Structure 1
Amino acid sequence: MIRVASLLGLLIEDDRNFLGQMLQLLPRTISNFDIHWDSSDEFDNAIERIMRYRYDIIVTDVYANAVHKGKTPGDNKANDIVAAIRKTRMCPIFVYSSGSCPDSIEKEQGPFLIYADKAHPKFAKTLSDELHNLIKTGIPGIARRLHDELDAVSGPSFLWSFLQDHWNKLQKAGFTSPDTLERLIRKRASVQLGRLDPQQTGAKEIDFVSASEYYLMPPVADGLRLGTILRESQTNNFFVVLTPHCHLTIQPGKSCPRADHVLLIPAIPFDVVARENPDLDPREGKGSKRNEKLRKAIQSPAQIGKAPQGRYWFLPGFLDIPSSYCDFTQTRSVPYETAGSDYESLATLDTPFAEALQSCFISFYGSVGLPSLRPDDFEYLIDPNQSNQPPR
């Protein structure tokens, strides 16, 4: 887990007497993080604070007024707090009250939203244990680290150097409008956060990626584009869109793109390809040979059996997407409308992986075979005394 020096927490409790007790119960250190706690005894004020400040974890009472039939006022307040946080940022929440969990909170409970009964005799231990669990997910520390890195990217390392040094030129060229500057800084920040290794000091690009970095899940935009991962509704088979994005863009005033058909490439499960090529199955063998088989199996294009070089492109497994091979010898062209109705869009290959897939596909079908030269005709290259010297 990425660690930072300190995190900022917010305690929301409308009972001022119990607020003081809660502040005594809240831990000040978890997993080497120092936690500083703000507090609020008004829910409306708390929502304003959440919108204004960056809190890394929130502990809140349900604000349980007298219970009426149906929803209680407290149920609504707790729901408002959760909704406000989710609209603002990813922030784990610990909710407590006396009695059973309100319906609105119970429906939303998960690994980052925990409820506890403060009337339970072991409430103090539950509070401590669950806060430890929420912090140990890594989300609060990562969120704080990214926020600090964004400040650095748009601050001393970029605004103070590049923009200050080139401001006059940017003004003359017409690049200093607020919209243009925002896009420039956004682009710089996204590239720097995505390509630099956070574990290294200085500007060092990452050497390895995880499977999760291959994909944008869910897709960041509607519609199809190069690299969209589709799951066929009837068969649950996976396909990848190979049609360039420029042909799939829907122009203003139009209801469909220029491409009336979409080119798909099937993603063949790893087990299927491995069974068809047992000699190169990385699950067979031991030691260095096994590692070498695995290396060849997961590179792109993969080296699989006696298949033509470049036939298979490895697609690493992530969540619902299984580890698979895009088989360039099997393509499918479907009507654009069918691609939207009969397939579910799960994710999109991120840059540069989508472009690499397209490049390998083009290379595979653009390869040209040449007749071989006879080695005997070139023995003079290794033995100058050979009689078959080339003409001078």
Structure 2
Amino acid sequence: MSISFHILHVEDEPQLAEQVAMYLQTPGLFRDAEVKVTGLNNIDAAKAALEATFFDLIILDLRLAGEDDGATFLKFIKSKRFVPVIFYTGLTGKINEETLVRVVPKEAGGLEKLSTIVQEIMLEGMPQFQDTLRKFVEETVKNYMWDFVNQYGEQMKTELFQQDARVLKKLVLRRLAAELREPNAAERFLPQPTVAFTALADVDPVVQPIEFYIIPPIFTYLAAGDVLTGEISGEDGTWVVLHPTCDMVPRANGRCKAEYVTVAKARPLTSFPEYKDWESSKTIKGKVKALQQLICNNKQDGQAERYWFLPGTLDIPHSIIDFQWIKTESPDVLMTLKKIASLDSPFAENLLASYSRYKGRIGHPRINVDYVMASLQPATAETQVAAGTETNKGTE
């Protein structure tokens, strides 16, 4: 399936601008992608174009008309929307390359290098994803308003518009959130996985560690599953909130319902015996399995429910939440800690359910397994004879 890829090129040298446009629009250069290059020669025109048109990529020179206008335009871009940027310039030493801002020097072979990076950005697919997401929002709102809200006429008008005009907007937001949470939502927005991942995806759907989290966190208040770092009662470390969110949402007076909030210590995975044993004997299957089971919340030594694996990503190290290492502190104190992430749904809910199950478990004496096993053994010949004799007596 072909894709359309619209590039804005800001360059004040007409001949170079034409070379770039002709090269990037060469049929077949990007396989079946249809590339369109819009060339502009000044920042004011580029700002107006960015306001009015959706671009998949912006290529710009650092210096335009003798000024470092390219750097100024980059700040403008960041203030308006996300779009990948490539500086195609002869002044590479004056611009710092960032993760989403690439730098290509104007030199021999520069156009080939430029096309290589354009290809990478196409494969990453973020510009197309943004366009798909924008269209999804428009489509969802359109369908909800015309097919649902409009059907209820005066009743909907009375309940929504006269009581509280915000209710309808809340319903639309909830609808969008529900649609995005739908299990097959990813299939609507994301391309099929590459060949390298297809077999794994077909057998056992898995997630990457970063998918456990909302980073950076959204809520300014405490919420279940928040990952905090800092000191509590003189003890430094990583902590995870185990308290229900509903008790921690600020009320009209600015205070939350909870006077104290429960958090659990997240201990580094490297501190556990399973990790240390694996590190020293990585080829022994038993050691590997023990660490894998710890990571899968199924610790081997009979304390499986006590621990919950917190996968490492970015600033979060691989850790194990210990449901016995609990502290209770006021929300005011916890708010002074640094919130580095929040567990996303359904991981936050799973964490709370696991904690509740662990705290609410009821033990009982172990059954005499040896006795049961013995009772399952085939009867001996003597026993069978005796049993037969007794049976015969009963039928005479």
The residue aligned with 1:115 is 103
Q: For residues 204-219 of structure 1, what are the structure 2 equivalents within 5 Å? A: 208-219=206-217
Instruction: State how far apart, in whole Å, the 1-side matches of 2:288 and 2:277 are.
Output: 15
Residues 267/110 of structure 1: CA separation in 2 closer, same or farther (3 Å cut):
same
> How far does the alpha carbon of each residue in 1:305-357 deviate from its partner, in whole angstroms, 9 at most, with x for none?
2243521122222222122221101112345444344x321111122322221
Deviation at 1:304, TM superposition (A): 0.6
Instruction: State how far apart, in whole Å, the 2-side matches of 1:278 and 1:238 are.
Output: 24
Instruction: State how far apart, in whole Å, the 1-side matches of 2:330 and 2:145 are.
Output: 47
Residues 111/32 of structure 1: CA separation in 2 closer, same or farther (3 Å cut):
farther
Q: In angstroms, what is the RMSD of aligned CA positions?
A: 4.1
How many correspondences in the alignment? 360
Q: SS of the residue aligned with 1:64?
A: coil
Contact 2:11–2:40 under 8 Å retained in 1: yes
More displaced 10-residue stretch of structure 1: 240-249 or 214-223: 240-249
The structure 2 residue matched to 1:195, chosen from 167, 182, 188, is 182
Instruction: State how far apart, in whole Å, the 2-side matches of 1:31 and 1:315 are.
Output: 42
Deviation at 1:92, TM superposition (A): 0.8
Q: SS of the residue aligned with 2:314?
A: coil
In structure 2, runs of 5+ residues without a counterpart are: 190-203, 376-386, 388-396
The structure 2 residue matched to 1:96, chosen from 88, 101, 107, is 88
Q: For residues 1-392 of structure 1, what are the structure 2 equivalents within 5 Å? A: 5-27=3-25, 29-30=29-30, 32-66=32-66, 74-75=67-68, 77-102=69-94, 105-106=95-96, 109-118=97-106, 120-156=107-143, 158-166=144-152, 169-174=155-160, 179-198=166-185, 200=187, 208-232=206-230, 237-254=237-254, 257-275=256-274, 286=285, 296-299=293-296, 302-341=297-336, 343-370=337-364
Q: SS of the residue aligned with 1:114?
A: strand
Residues 295/242 of structure 1: CA separation in 2 closer, same or farther (3 Å cut):
same
More displaced 10-residue stretch of structure 1: 80-89 or 12-21: 12-21
Contact 1:14–1:43 under 8 Å retained in 2: no
Instruction: State how far apart, in whole Å, the 2-side matches of 1:184 and 1:131 are.
Output: 40
Instruction: State how far apart, in whole Å, the 2-side matches of 1:277 and 1:95 are.
Output: 47
Deviation at 1:214, TM superposition (A): 1.5
Instruction: State how far apart, in whole Å, the 2-side matches of 1:296 and 1:4 are.
Output: 45
Instruction: State how far apart, in whole Å, the 2-side matches of 1:178 and 1:57 are.
Output: 39
Matching residue's letter, 1:313: W
The residue aligned with 2:193 is none
Q: SS of the residue aligned with 2:272?
A: helix
Q: SS of the residue aligned with 1:238?
A: strand
Contact 1:92–1:112 under 8 Å retained in 2: yes
Identity %: 21
Contact 2:12–2:64 under 8 Å retained in 1: no
Contact 1:282–1:294 under 8 Å retained in 2: no
Instruction: State how far apart, in whole Å, the 2-side matches of 1:201 and 1:143 are.
Output: 13
Q: TM-score, normalised by structure 2?
A: 0.74
Contact 1:240–1:264 under 8 Å retained in 2: yes
- Larger-Rg structure: 2
Matching residue's letter, 2:307: Y
Contact 1:277–1:304 under 8 Å retained in 2: no
